[in-house]
Structures are given as C-alpha cells and as structure tokens.
Amino acid sequence: MAKGFYISKSLGILGILLGVAALCTIVTLSVVYANEKNKNAENSSLGHPTSGPVSPTTATTLDQSQPWNRYRLPTTLMPESYRVWLRPHLQPNDQGLYIFQGNSTVRFTCMEATNLIIIHSRNLNYTSQGHPVTLRGVGGSRPPEIDKTELVVLTDYLVVHLKGDLVVGSQYEMDSEFVGELADDLAGFYRSEYMDGGVKKVVATTQMQATDARKSFPCFDEPAMKARFNITIVHPNNFTALSNMLPKGPSVPLDGDPTWNVTEFEPTPRMSTYLLAYIVSEFTSIQKETLNKVQIRVWARPSATTEGHSNYALNVTGPILDFFSQYYNTPYPLEKSDQVALPDFNAGAMENWGLVTYRESALLFDPLSSSSSNKERVVTVIAHELAHQWFGNLVTVAWWNDLWLNEGFASYVEYLGADYAEPSWNLKDLIVVNDVYKVMAVDALASSHPLSSPASEVNTPAQISEQFDTIAYSKGASVLRMLSSFLTEDVFRKGLVSYLHTFAYNNTNYLDLWEHLQKAVDDTPSLKLPNSVRNIMDRWTLQMGFPLITVDTNKGTISQKHFLLDPESNVTRPSEFNYLWFVPISSVKNGKEQEEYWLQGTKEAQNKLFQMENADWVLLNINVTGYYQVNYDNNNWRKIQNQLQSDSSAIPVINRAQIIYDSFNLASAQIVPVTLALNNTLFLIQEKEYMPWQAALSSLSYFKLMFDRSEVYGPMQRYLRRQVRPLFDYFKNVTKNWVERPQTLMEQYNEINAISTACTNEIEECGELALNLFTDWMSHPDNNTIHPNLRFTIYCNAIALGGVEKWDFAWEQFRKATLVNEADKLRSALACSKEVWILNRYLSYTLNPNLIRKQDATSTINNIASNTVGQTLVWDFIRSNWKKLFEDYGGGSFSFSNLIQTVTQRFSTEYELQQLEQFKENNMDTGFGSGTRALEQALEKTKANIKWVNQNKQEVLRWFTENSIDS
C-alpha cells in the first residue's frame, strides 16, 4: 500500500513551500485506513434476519484461556481454497441501506485435532435456516455434528463448536450464506460514489488490507493463511465486474433475471486474503500488452478515460512491470495487471494482486491541468504498487510485525522503477528529501520504535494499523537502501532473487531475507563485511533510532551515539545492542572520494581517513546512503562553510542538502549552536539547485512554527527575502517572466520554491504576480492560464492576500472540478485564507461528506491547522468534536495520526502543554486508536519545543536581525 506519501506525495513537494511543515512532522503517507463505522450492530438484520442458534458474544474483557478470545487464529486448521459468490445491490433497499448478498465455501485441512472451527467474520448476517454454516467432509472424511455457533464481536470470530474432533490430515468444506452492508466506510466490500453529468453513480469496490476481508465473507483473515480463491460476481448487466484474475469466459445472464449478469473468474494463485479485490462499476478502460505479453489495463470514470487522463499511467505501467521482471529475475506471476482509479479510496493505493486500486490523484494525469509533481506521484505510486506484485504478494510476510519489510522495500524500489520509466528526472535522489530526513525527525524521538516488533506485541486490528507508519515505510526504505549500497546492488539483487524463488507463494519473516543475502555475500569473495548480514542489520531493525557520527579531524577519531532531538528525554525502551550500530562510513576529502570505512559496533575508533591538516576538509556519508547524521569539530565545520561560499560545486548536491539538514537537527538537539546551522544557509544566496533549497526550507519551517507568533518572525522574513531574491530573479529570467517552464524536473520544483518563498516572505512583486494571475482567472473562469506547476502556490497566496470574493470563487471552482489533481490543489489552497470566520466555515465543511469527501477530511483539517491563523481554530475544533472525529476516522487511519501531529506542531508553551495533557486525560474513555502513538510523540515534541524556544529565541532573534538586510 502506498503511503499517502503518503503521501502521500500529493502536493508533497508543494506543501512545504509555505514553510509550515515542520522538519519534525510526520508527513501523511500514502498509507491510511478508514475506521469501521459499525452503523449496525453485529446482529442487525439489514433486512435479512440471522437464523439459527448464533449467539453474539459482546463481552469487553477476554478470558485468554479460550481460543476464540485471542486475536490470533489457532493453527489447527489451514485453508486450501474458497468459492465466493457475491451480489452487490447498487440501489438502497427499503431501509435505505445498500447491501450485498453472498455465499462462500471454504475448504480447509485439519492440522491438529480440534472440536472448534474459528474463522473471521465481521458485520455479516447469516441467512441459512438452522445453523449459519454447514460442514461436510472431503474425500470420504466424515465431519462431526455442529453443537452450536457464536459470533465473538471483540475478536471478529465466527466460532463453530462441534460435538466431536476433526481428524488430522482430513479435509472439510464449510458453507455459509450471508448479507452485509455495502457501506461508504472505505473498508472491506464498500460503496464509492461519483457524479456523472449530474447523475449519481455507484461503484462497489474493496479495500481488504489489513483486516477487512472478513467484512466481505467469512475467512481465515491472516496473511500466512494463504489459499486459492474462486470468485463469482453477480452484477447489473450494464456494469463490468473485475477481480484479481481474468474471467473464465463472457458474463452470462443470471437465471431468472436477465437484468443481472454472472461473471466467474479464474482461480487465483495461492495468496493472502488482504490482497483479494473485486470491483463492480461502469468504468471504462484503455489497454495494451507489455513486452512479456502481460495484459495491462487502466480503468477510470468514463469521462476521465475519454479525456485521456489514463494515458500516462498506461504508458508507464508496462515499462515498470518489465523493469521489475528483470530486477527480480522472475516473470510477472499473473496474466494481467489492472490499475483502477477510485473516486473514494482512503489509502494512496493498494497492491491487490492483479487488480491494483488507487486514489484518482495517484493514477490519473491531465497534461493540461496536472503539475509535474502530480506526474511524479503517478509514476512513483504505480512503481510502489507494482513492486509489491512480487515482494509482498508472491512472497508475503507471515505477520504484520514485519510489515516494514514489505512496505519499506516497496518504498525503496519505487524510486528504481520510476527512474526506469522517467530516466531524465533523477528521481532516485528524492528519497533523501522525501523519506530519509522526514523519518529521521520521528526516529530521533524517545517515543520512536524499532522497525521490527515481536509478533506477540501486534495482535488487535488497532495494533496492526499502527504498524502502517512512517517508520515502516520511510525508515524501512532508508535502511534497505543503505543495505543495497554497502552490499552493492548486484549482490543485493542476487540475494533478493534467491529469496523470491525459494519462498514463492509462501510466507517469510525478515530473517529469511538476511539468510539469502548472506548466501549472496558468501558467493562474492571480493565483498568484505565486518560481520554477517544478520548481525549488521539486527542493530538497524531491532533497536529504534539511528547514530550520530561525530568526527574530530584534529585527532582522526570517529564516534557514535544514539541521536535524540531532546538530549534530556528518557529512553525507556532497552536495547540489547546498547544503541550501538555497525555503520558504513563513506567520505569525501577536499572533494575526492575516499575508501569506505566501517565503525564496527564500538563507541569510538580512529583512522587517518578522518585526520585533516591545514586547509583540508572531510565530509561523511556521500549522497546520504547511510542512515545516520554527522557532526564535525568546529574547525572542519568552518572549512565546509568556507567551501560552500567559495565554490559549493566541490560538494555533491545531495551533501549540500545534508549539511543543512544535519546541522539544524544537531542544533535542535543542542549539540551545536543554532547559529552554526543558520550560518550553513548563507551560501543559498548563490544556490540554484533544488535539494539544498528544499533542505533549508524544510529545516527553517521549524523556526517558522516556533516563531511565527513572536517578534522573531519579522527579521526571519527579511532574511529569507534577502536569500531568495536572486533565486526568484533567476527563475523570472529563465521562464521569460513566468511564461515558460524550466527544462528539468528539479528546476521546476525549485521554481515553485522560489515563488512560494518570495510570496510567503512578502516580496511585493511576487504578491502582485499571484493576485494578477488569479484575478485574470476570475475574469475568465473557463480559461485558467495559470500553469499547473504554479497553481497551488498562486491559488494559496492569492487567497491569503484576498478576501471572501477570492475564497468563494476558489470554492466554486473546487466544487466544479472534474480532475482530482485540480480539486486537490484548490482544496489545499482554500486553507490559506487569513480570515478567521472563513477558516471556521471551511472547517465545518469537513464534517459534511457532501462538501468534503470523507477520504479528504483529515488532510483538509491538517491544511487548515498548518495555517498560523487556523491552528488554534483546529485545536478547538478537535477538542470539541473528538468523539465524532475518532469514530469516523480514528480506529484505522494513518492520516488520523498525522492530524494529531499537525495540530500540535506549533505547541511551544507551558500553557499548550497543559492543554495537550488535559486533552489526553479528558478523552481516555473515548480512546485514541491508531493515533495513540502520535499523541505520545506530540507530548514529547511539545516539551522539546518549550526547551528549545527558551534556550534559543534570543540568539535566533539576534542572528536574523544581523543577517536580514532587506531587499
């Protein structure tokens, strides 16, 4: 599943340009889940009464001695195959509910003698007379009689009690008939809606990951319980049914009612329930074949298909599939790969095997209205999901505690697949900005957690949802990128291919990958590692955080320690490795690369590579391939600063960004003076490259969050005006007064940086540019001449400078927008208003799904909270509406975690800390679900902010005042 990337990356580059996203803020990843609404009680009728002796068990405390009270399935039964028949009704019934009817047969093998069948089931109402299930033997085996059945609500189980034991080695089949609600909750088998020519259209679609297949039919809903699935969908005859596999043949009319068709699909390979998918819609498609004869199709609303919005996705899907076939040295396992754009989808995308689902913004691209960042998002999200078709789908982690391996791997190789499809974009470099440093901001907290947790600590659906965080995605990607770097890509791929071939159609844990990588190392005599792959990597996966590497160039010593943003925070999580790592150290001396060095799990070492004389300087962690930060002695820092200001080209572009990122983090942790970090931005007055500027804006956004309500902010704005003016003028010239676009993707991104920074810091010419372009559009609403790359920045600044007339115009355009990329830009920009009453009105819209789609509610609230004016409004709003927000979005939503993080990101006073602690106390009964960890991190970060502001405010004010020559 893509991070919303999360987030995912929708407006990810643009969002930071207002300077409101703190370096230490978790960014919404492509990877969010809807909370189960549970509109109906487990035993509600949906118009079809549950028959037979099924007793719902709703106790809130569990007797752990009973297997049905444990969240993990017993291993007594193992599924082999399912036959599932589903009929979604796309019109509401007499009770106003959308429902689906279904029946299923599961064949399973008895692995241990038992008199219980425990299978997952949630919100399904069983309609058979007598017992809700029937049981029969296969191959001559005789089943015991059913004694009774019960539904255990807390653990999502249907429990069948038998009068005797099932026989080890024998196979059985269990049938059931049921009805479920086709709700709009974005989970399981759910309903999506869109308007087409003023007519409401309904889509039946799925999102099973992580624990929602059980909402669609009774199943053994754990990733290691792989089986083959035979899916049959009954649907209106003017709709198309899709599933993981191709249909067996043409759809046929339903006996007795030819207005319905029956589509039966080929059986799937052995796979996990969370990867199952089916869709019933009026979507249309475009298609082609890959070089390897795989059928690829892109499905979307008919108008989107007609207007060509699917074309880009189709053009890159084939090359990316072929790239991964080569990369994994394994053919794509299925005959077809469908990509489907859904109007309502809570994740960024989902890697269902052969039927990948996406938010529209992650799949559709309009060359006339979509920006370069929209295009980048499409290609990287497609690459992420297609990487999973092998790593995750063909070979699957056994349990969710190893989710980081699945998502971290896809989050790393998405850059490789996207780079193959768009080789001129230098996309592989963006992992440093998008993943490495963003996750370090979280991983440097004492409330962080290791990549891998014991399976025993991950049981409930809420605990499973918590695994889908930025640590799993971005730290996983960063650590695997480091591993590939020090092994070399050839050895890394060799071990990976061996792993995939060995475990195809089965389940693994991370140790299996280490074993196969070790075999590849052993077969490469020229590769010398200081220890085994497992021993090296255990320190990166089993302990949280990362090392700070400190170099003393006078003595040539190099040392490591656990880096914490708050050096006084209390680390309560023990580590068997004492927070020491095996660290691969790459370095540059005076611009020339040196041999690699390993710090081998010790606190300190010495080597002549790091001893400098006279004017010599050294820089560690070339291109930031290592997951660590670096500090130097004052003398070396001064030499690096001199080099940046005299000839920055001697330092690689990524490392110019690294110098800024690392020094600001070190200043936050009180390891170096804040003025050292600020001095590292002085060279930007000459800098034209995107990544150093992005590092500075990202780092300085924390200063904005801490000081935009204080007297520091004026001098800070003056300094930024001084620094950005040459960049603004440069792009004004390159673009011939903003008419043309720069040639490369990185230049296009930095053009946006230049305009946004200039406008936000009140360069008058920039404000006039934004107002003029927006006013021209208002005069000709059907002819928007603002280039898609610049739209969000222009919209936001025009709305901020304008009044209600401009806001209402933008809202009207948002309501009329047919392209989701354009709607997203407008929806985000509407949060830029400086009028309290307008923001309050907008905030109220987020609770009305007719105005703001449910999938967009939390990100819209986040946008308002990122506005200085809106932050207090959102905090009051969240406290007043916590129960409703939690019920609608909290139980399984990654974006909900980010909501807590975003609304508290400015907190830096004792009063705000008291409010946050009171908020926690007041809502203990309601709970925080998947936002629990984010709340603890917010408390920790607020305390760190208070200390940082108290210690640095006067010095920061002095520095900006001295260096803010207005322009």
Q: How buried is 649 (Cβ within 10 angstroms: 0-12 exposed, 13-18 middle, 19+ buried)?
A: exposed
Return the number of other C-beta atoms located less than 10 Å from residue 252's C-beta.
11
* Residue matched to tokens 């010419």: 765
Residue 217 · residue 102 · CB < 8 Å:
yes
DSSP state of 49: P
Q: Which residues have C-beta within 8 Å of that of residue 386, sequence separation ≥ 6? A: 317, 320, 321, 324, 337, 351, 356, 417
Euclidean distance between the first and the last CA atom of the chain, given in angstroms as a whole number: 47
What secondary structure letter does DSSP report for 263? E
Which among 42, 181, 385, 466 is annotated as catalytic?
Answer: 385
Q: Residue 39 and residue 815: Cα distance in Å, rounded?
A: 28
Bridge partners (DSSP) of residue 339 are: 298, 356
Residue 300 sits at the vertex; the CA angle it makes with 294 and 306, to the nearest 5 degrees, is 100
695-708 as b/e: b if 16+ CB within 10 A: bbbbbbbbbbbbbb
* DSSP 8-class letter at 373: H
Structure tokens at 426: 């230098």
Count of residues making up the chain: 967
SS3 assignment, position 157: strand
For residue 208, give both structure tokens: 């099973």
Q: Is 385 a catalytic residue?
A: yes
Half-sphere exposure of 261 (CA within 13 A, CB side): 16
Give the contacts of 522 (CB within 8 A, at least 6 positions apart). Answer: none
What Rg, from alpha-carbon coordinates, does the chain have? 28
Token duo for residue 176? 């059931």
Nearest-10 Cα torsion for 676, 679, 684, 687: -70
Phi-psi region of 614 (alpha: psi -120 to 50; beta: other; left: phi over 0): left
- Say if residues 368 and 783 touch (Cβ distance below 8 Å): no
Handedness of CA 512, 513, 518, 520 (dihedral sign): positive
Q: Are 302 and 282 spatial neighbours (Cβ–Cβ below 8 Å)?
A: yes
Ramachandran angles phi, psi of 279, nearest 5°: -140, 135
Cβ contact 65:207 at 8 Å: no
Cβ atoms of residues 162 and 144 within 8 Å: yes
Bridge partners, residue 395, by sequence:
391, 506
The Cα–Cα gap between 470 and 937 comes to 13
In 159-170, which positions are buried (b, 16+ CB within 10 angstroms) versus exposed (e)?
bbebeeebbeeb
Residues in Cβ contact with 739 at an 8 Å cutoff, skipping those fewer than 6 apart: none
Query: Angle at the Cα of 956 (from 955 to 962), degrees rounded to 5?
Result: 90
- The answer to whether 215 touches 187, Cβ cutoff 8 Å, is yes
Q: Tell me whether strands 295-300 and 336-342 are parallel, antiparallel or unpaired.
A: parallel
Return phi, psi of residue 683, to 5°.
-70, -15
Is 8:411 a contact under the CB 8 Å cutoff?
Answer: no
Q: Cite the beta strand spans of 127-256 per DSSP E.
A: 133-138, 146-152, 157-166, 171-181, 188-196, 199-207, 228-236, 240-243, 252-254
Query: Within 780-893, where are the H helices?
Result: 788-801, 804-816, 820-829, 836-845, 857-866, 868-880, 882-885
Cite the active site residues: 385
